[in-house]
Amino acid sequence: MVSRSSKPSTASLPPSDIFEKEEDRHEAMEYNGMELPEEYLLAKLSFTSEHTRFFKTMRKDQEKKQELRRNTEFNFAKPDTFNDSQASVHDMVESEAPYQDVDEGLGDILDGFQQKTEFLKVVKYNNKNLGKELTDSKRLHHAFVESAIKYMDIPLPILLKIKQGTLFVPSVYTISEGVSVAFMQSLRSLEGLNESKLYKAIFQKNKMNDMIFSNVLKGLRARPEFVSLISVSNDLGDHAAQ
């Protein structure tokens, strides 16, 4: 046992390692007569001088990095919220956020860009095909319009009204002579339309006179698949009867 009263004088100071050893010894003395905890011993063994040096240099490096980050262009003018005790948690998070997620953010942008590119490719492809279908349809309507214009009549998009093989022309439409001629000529071929078959025609009070109705019937005659004709409140004269 070493007496606690026998302290070394200041004139002959021992080297610092002696104090450390003394401290260790004192610590060990505290556990004198008792079994030292295993965790304590392992911790003591692991904490060697090499480890201490490593932790010290690592802490210095971290401080240097943080200093550099604070002095970047983005945060130069901003207060040091991260190390400011007065700053809120939100400020701290905000001050660090752009740098933590910069790689992830670029990845997201790249993914979004690729998705948009794929989407635009599909849109372009669809537009190209749709345009092709419309071209055939337009050709038919162009002929229809030309026929109607010869009679100074405003053509109606009647052929587009064929749905599920049925053409229904409601009373709001007045079928004039030009339209009926256009009708007669255009019904010969419906290949350009989405509906290439015409099974049924319904004319509801379209103010058709005998001649006009006759033209329409001539058009319908060109359709071999036609099976049903319904006419409501239209004129039937000699021409139509013929």
Q: Which residues of the chain form contacts with another protein (CB under 8 A)? A: 200, 210, 217, 220-221, 224-238, 240-242
Closest contact distance (angstroms) between CB of 156 and another protein is 21
- The number of residues in the chain equals 242
Q: How far is the CB of 182 from another protein (least distance, A)?
A: 19
Residue in 126, 178, 124, 169 with CA at minimum distance from that of residue 148: 178
Of 170, 181, 227, residue with least CA distance to 203: 170
Nearer to another protein, 140 or 236 (CB): 236
Q: How far is the CB of 193 from another protein (least distance, A)?
A: 21
CB of 153 to another protein, least distance (A): 22
Q: Is the Cα dihedral 41, 46, 52, 58 positive or negative? A: negative
CB of 94 or CB of 210, closer to another protein: 210
Q: Which is nearer to another protein, 179 or 217 (CB)?
A: 217
As a whole number of angstroms, the distance between CA 52 and CA 129 comes to 72
Closest CA to 137 of 176, 182, 195: 195
Nearer to another protein, 186 or 206 (CB): 206
Backbone angles phi, psi at 226, to 5 degrees: -70, 130
- Name the pairing type of β-strands 166-169 and 200-204: parallel
> How far apart are the C-alpha atoms of 233 and 120, rounded to whole Å?
51
List beta partners, residue 34: none
- 190 Cα distance to chain centroid: 40
**Closer to another protein at the Cβ: 33 or 224?**
224
Q: Smallest distance from the beta carbon of 239 to another protein, in angstroms?
A: 9
Closest distance of CB 202 from another protein, Å: 9
Task: State which residue, 109 or 230, has the beta carbon closest to another protein.
Answer: 230
